[in-house]
Amino acid sequence: MRHLMSPLDFTTEELEKLFCLANDIENNKEKYAHACDGKILATCFYEPSTRTRLSFESAMIRLGGQVIGFSDAGSSSAAKGESVSDTIRVISGYADICAMRHPKEGAPMVAMEKSLIPVINAGDGGHQHPTQTLTDLLTIRSLKGSLSGFTIGLCGDLKFGRTVHSLIDALVRYDNINFIFISPDELKIPDYIIEMLKNKNIPYKEVSSLDEVMPQLDLLYMTRVQKERFFNEEDYIRLKNYYILDTEKMQLAKPDMLVLHPLPRVNEISVEVDNDPRAAYFKQAEYGVYVRMALILTLLELA
């Protein structure tokens, strides 16, 4: 039985199979409409997350399966003090597969160790969010045609943004990728990632001006500066408006550059950019459902 805890749990060959399946689902939705008939997905969300939870639920329902679950710890037995280990043992008898989000890092791994059904990490604190990384990879592969040979700019909060860290970890397994990190000094990419890139001889550059590097990019991955990561309100207010992608900046970009964003956005991408054909972030959210459908089928061994 397999689980998904980290984006690196799957080899690049296994990911290739998963992405081919996701693309087939995208193009042949009817074919998969009953693939999970009679199966139940449990969404155990110990903290609120509309987007991730709904995309899991949508994925299972589109596969013909059904969904049970809770969407915050207050409405679950956790409020009564039940451990994650006990909860998953019980859920194992209720459902065929479980997607778990938990504010404590490593909680889905504890669940995995006791579970009788596949467990998917749907985000554990600031640690991992593997299905977001799979979504990002599928989007790049589908819209760019390949997961190698491009320059990607990662912009915004590169210090606390776990989606950025996981995406880099996943991309370094592919060839000829050039990283450009665009951030203010306070939100620079952590040293251990720079060290890893140096050790692997992967080209990278750290800059603070988005305009300056815009013409070089094949992909621009924007991130939100998250208020909850700051202890100091002043720092947050100062940094949240540091980079705003608008139509003026988009004019500097290549005609086929793509803009990605894990969403939700606050104000880091102007709404006017949404109409630009290079804005791919809503399509990216849609790919999130296809990749989760493919993942559910794979983990249930129905693919």
Partner 1 sequence: MLNVGQIEEGFVLDHIKAGKSLSIYEHLQLDKLDCTVAIIKNARSGKMGKKDILKVECDINQLDLDVLAFIDHNITVNVIKDCEIVEKKVLVLPKTIKNVIRCKNPRCITSIEQELPHIFVLADEQKEVYRCKYCEEKNTERF
Residues that bind partner 1 (CB under 8 A): 83-85, 102-107, 109-110, 124-127
Q: Which residue's CB is nearer to partner 1, number 88 or number 213?
A: 88
Give me 41's structure tokens.
Answer: 């997905």
State which residue, 124 or 136, has the beta carbon closest to partner 1: 124
Can you tell me the distance from the alpha carbon of 272 to that of 95, in angstroms, rounded to the nearest whole number? 43
Using CA atoms, how far apart are residues 270 and 224, in angstroms rounded to an integer?
13
Tokens of 235: 């720092």
Do 26 and 148 form a contact (C-beta atoms < 8 A)?
no
167 vs 154: CA distance, rounded Å: 10
Q: Write down the least CB distance from residue 84 to partner 1, Å.
A: 6
CB 85, min distance to partner 1, A: 7
Distance linking the first and last C-alpha atoms of the chain? 14
Secondary structure string (H, E, C) spanning 90-104: HHHHHCCEEEEEECC
CB nearer to partner 1: pick between 113 and 256: 113
In whole angstroms, the minimum distance from the beta carbon of 110 to partner 1 comes to: 5
Distance in Å, CB of 160 to partner 1, minimum: 12
CB of 49 vs partner 1, minimal distance in Å = 16
Total number of residues shown for the chain: 303
Q: In the complex with partner 1, which residue's Cβ is closer, 4 or 155?
A: 4
- The SS3 call for residue 206 is strand
Q: Closer CB to partner 1, residue 83 or residue 208?
A: 83
